[in-house]
């Protein structure tokens, strides 16, 4: 019976903590990071973090890697689901420059994801997060760089 109370207590704690953490990031951390990127677009944070505007208009600060006419981002949260199953118009604010692109979640090429993640997030555990590929050239077909 004691184990049941412990399990119920942990579940209750999760119900309270997870939404509070989400609220904290959405209302406090993300707006502060976004403002810092706008105020200091070439600063230390801006070298690693961009603002991504999703099709819904939601704007998130996310780590990025820009190379070969593309921008890559990684998601450990659920926001990537807005980009699942297709290619969607997005905007990125990178180092003071606003760029339009087409974003997709790369789910069909684990070798490509591992290669990009080795540069985008080299200290993360392999297989964690989703990779978002943003094509800045409308004629770029996506996938491993040509």
Task: Tell me the domain boundaries of the chain.
Answer: 1-141
pLDDT-based confidence at 13, cuts 50/70/90?
very low
Rounded to whole angstroms, how far apart are CA atoms 9 and 130?
Answer: 31
Helix boundaries (H) for the chain? 2-24, 30-39, 110-120
In angstroms, the first-to-last Cα distance of the chain is 61
Looking at the domain covering 1-141, what would its CATH class be?
mainly beta
- Of residues 25 and 123, the one with the higher pLDDT is 123
Q: What is residue 145's predicted lDDT score, i.e. its pLDDT? A: 75
Q: For all residues of the chain together, what is the average pLDDT? A: 84
Q: How much is the pTM?
A: 0.79
- Of residues 11 and 84, the one with the higher pLDDT is 84
Residue-wise pLDDT for 48-105, tens only, equals 999 999 999 999 999 999 998 999 999 988 999 999 999 999 999 999 999 999 999 9
Rounded to whole angstroms, how far apart are CA atoms 75 and 131?
Answer: 7
């Amino acid at each position: 019976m004691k184990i049941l109370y412990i399990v119920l207590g942990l579940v209750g704690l999760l119900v309270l903590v997870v939404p509070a953490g989400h609220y904290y990031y959405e209302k406090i951390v993300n707006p502060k990071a976004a403002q810092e990127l706008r105020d200091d677009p070439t600063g230390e944070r801006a070298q690693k973090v961009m603002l991504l505007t999703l099709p819904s208009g939601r704007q998130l600060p996310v780590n990025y890697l820009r190379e070969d006419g593309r921008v890559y981002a990684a998601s450990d949260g659920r926001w990537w689901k807005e980009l699942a199953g297709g290619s969607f118009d997005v905007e990125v604010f990178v180092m003071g420059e606003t760029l339009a692109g087409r974003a997709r979640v790369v789910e069909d090429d684990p070798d490509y994801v591992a290669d990009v993640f080795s540069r985008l997030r080299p200290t993360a555990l392999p297989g964690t997060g989703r990779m978002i590929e943003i094509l800045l050239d409308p004629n770029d077909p996506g996938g491993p760089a040509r």
